[in-house]
Amino acid sequence: MKGLLEAQNLSQSELARRVGISQSAVAQLLSRGGQGSKHIHAIARELHTTPAFLMGEIDDPSEKAVQLPSASTVAEQLDAVLLPEVEVSYSMGGGADISDWPVVRQVPFSRDWLRTLTSSPASDLMVARGDGDSMQPTILDGDLTIIDRGQQTMRQQDRIWALSYGGFGMIKRLRALPDGSLQINSDNTAVTPILATDDEAFLIGRVVGVIRRI
């Protein structure tokens, strides 16, 4: 596996990003081989080899290799679009710049379905997972939220937004108060609202959809 990384000039961290696992997980696989890893097929696909080679069952990395189409190719064939899934709770250092948010994976969505949620282009959309219980019952831990970065101006009260506050990203329900401050509310009534003044909070985009596992 190490030889394949070097041959393709691919770092452990880049492989981890493509597969959607941590860099430390890739390092562990390098040290013990691919035995027992549930990500072995995804790793093999990214390294243009086979699970059998990574698990030491064969010696030829190209033997019986099947080149599967990339996620972008599959999405194009299905008339879908890939939206980046980001870690919304990641420290942003203040401001509304999302360039430092780590991308976990690319998630395919139907173009037609996205058009029912927003008129913004797909390039303005991203997804993030609910983290914790502060927005229950509207957003549960692990739910996927679709964030429209084309909307960054509050036109209606009590909508759900992705925002930066105190240098961290979060998803909350917002209310603009008459004195110019912003009330940051959680749908979980046990969580105390936050009052943001001046430029303490920065809007990232409005949450236009929530997807829940059943």
**What is the block-wise mean pLDDT of the chain (214 residues), using blocks of 10 residues?**
75 81 78 66 79 70 54 64 79 52 80 92 90 89 91 93 85 93 94 89 92 79
- pLDDT at site 72: 59
Q: What pTM was computed for the model?
A: 0.63
- pLDDT at site 93: 47
State how far the Cα of 201 lies from the Cα of 80, in Å rounded to an integer: 33
CB-based contacts of 64-72 (< 8 A; 24+ apart in sequence): 71/106, 71/108, 72/106
- For CATH 1.10.260.40, list the domain ranges present in the chain: 2-54
- For CATH 2.10.109.10, list the domain ranges present in the chain: 76-211
- pLDDT at site 181: 93
Q: Are strands 194-196 and 182-185 parallel, antiparallel or unpaired?
A: antiparallel
Fold of domain 2-54: 434 Repressor (Amino-terminal Domain) (1.10.260)
- H helix runs in the chain, sequence order: 2-7, 12-19, 23-32, 40-46, 51-54, 71-77, 111-115
Fold of domain 76-211: Umud Fragment, subunit A (2.10.109)
- pLDDT at site 91: 46
- Which residues in 87-141 belong to E strands, given as ranges? 103-110, 125-129
Are 47 and 4 spatial neighbours (Cβ–Cβ below 8 Å)?
A: yes
- pLDDT at site 92: 44
Map tokens 């999405």 to a residue.
Answer: 75
- pLDDT at site 149: 92
